[in-house]
Amino acid sequence: MSGGFLFYLIKVKKQPFFLIATKDRGWLRPKPLHTYHLIVFTYMFFEGLHLIFLVNELYPNMIAAEVGNIMADSISAASAAFYPVSIVYSTPNIQPDKQHENSYFRNFNYVGPNARLVDIVGIILFFVPLFTLLPFASLAGYYAEMNDIKMENVFYTAHYFAWVAWEIIYITVLSFYWYRLTFIIKDHIKVLLLENDNNNQVKKFKRGTRNLTIPVLAIVFGLLLQAIIYVVMSLTHRSNTVYYFGWNLFYYWIGYVTFPLLGFGIECCLLYYTIMNLKKQETTGSVGFSSPSSSQGQLNTITTVNMESQKDSKTLCCLPIKNFGITTNKPTITVIHCSSETITIVENNNEQSNTLN
């Protein structure tokens, strides 16, 4: 399902995996929703591959078995490193406005991120699970193969403690950036309501916040549960649990049932909201999408808005157009069609882009 979502977003909706390049963004700039689907896809794929190898006894030795057992966690953790980075680069660069005295912006002066520092943090979070979990698992398998139970338990415990430490750091970073982004979005919604802005714009921001919050809560809940289980596993001598059916059944349900069901449940929620949004677009007769420019990497957003006064209004078919060469720092609105039935506008964003759809 996650692979299907990625295909739908990239190929059908024409939403690239990476955000538009700007001066405030570095090399690592994936979109939050795309990144979440990538995390679920990598975890499910390697977990399913591991189960196939276990059932068919395809592992040649203990080293391969230990590495295969931790492969799903390692690869999905490396993919998850891009999620906080995507949230940072999705946070709009909004400054306080004296016009809105009731806005919380006066207490929060957001400064654009240091792109180089953000990229370095993302790269570190990417390589840490690969360079710690896999070597520890390999050494645990090696000493198990040599029948050195004492050293095997040392690296077994070190492997799970390293994983729990990474989870705690990751949850802290992810929660901080998620809170900052939702704080800015909610306050921006208040500004739009004060300005009596179009209700569709408010709904779009609320939908974007929901699409971001649901995956974040799923990741945080899953990692917290996994951290608790791994602490118990690391502090419990392996020989005391491996021969007990109750412990094995408990670990099986947590690792191979609970976590996959959690990811599948979130994907189902996102699928439900996607279908509902498509139905709303069909009933309202409005089309909105964005396509990357072919020349300067800018974003042309084409929107068709129906006139509310016309009951039998029709919707024009809007296609991506080429960049007009506009290089202003602020979004520019250009009306390319206006009639008694519809208004078609083009929004050219040089620095900002819609990243929460």
Q: What percent of the chain has pLDDT over 90?
A: 14
Structure tokens at 6: 């990625």
Integer Cα distance of 201 and 159 in angstroms? 47
Q: Which residues lie closer than 8 Å to 39 by C-beta, 6 or more apart?
A: 76, 79, 80, 83, 219
Integer Cα distance of 193 and 202 in angstroms? 8
Q: What is the mean pLDDT of residues 210-237?
A: 83
Mean pLDDT of the chain: 72
Output 96 or 72, whichever has higher pLDDT.
72
Structure tokens at 137: 């698992």
Contact 348, 334 (CB under 8 A): yes
Dump pLDDT digits (tens) for 284-298. Answer: 544 433 333 333 333
Long-range pairs for 110-115 at CB < 8 Å and ≥24 separation? Answer: 110/180, 110/184, 112/24, 113/24, 113/88, 113/89, 115/24, 115/25, 115/26
- pTM of the complete model: 0.67
Phi, psi of 219, deg, nearest 5: -65, -45
Structure tokens at 17: 């995996």
The pLDDT-based confidence of 65 (bands split at 50, 70, 90) is: very high
pLDDT reading at 142 higher than 90: yes
The pLDDT-based confidence of 241 (bands split at 50, 70, 90) is: low
Please tell me the total number of residues recorded for the chain in this structure. Answer: 357
Integer Cα distance of 325 and 314 in angstroms? 31
CB atoms within 10 A of CB 144: 21
Residue ranges per structural domain of the chain = 2-283, 286-349
> 297 — alpha (psi -120 to 50), left (phi > 0) or beta?
left
Give the pLDDT confidence score for residue 92 in this predicted structure.
67
Looking at this protein, which amino acid is placed at residue 216? V
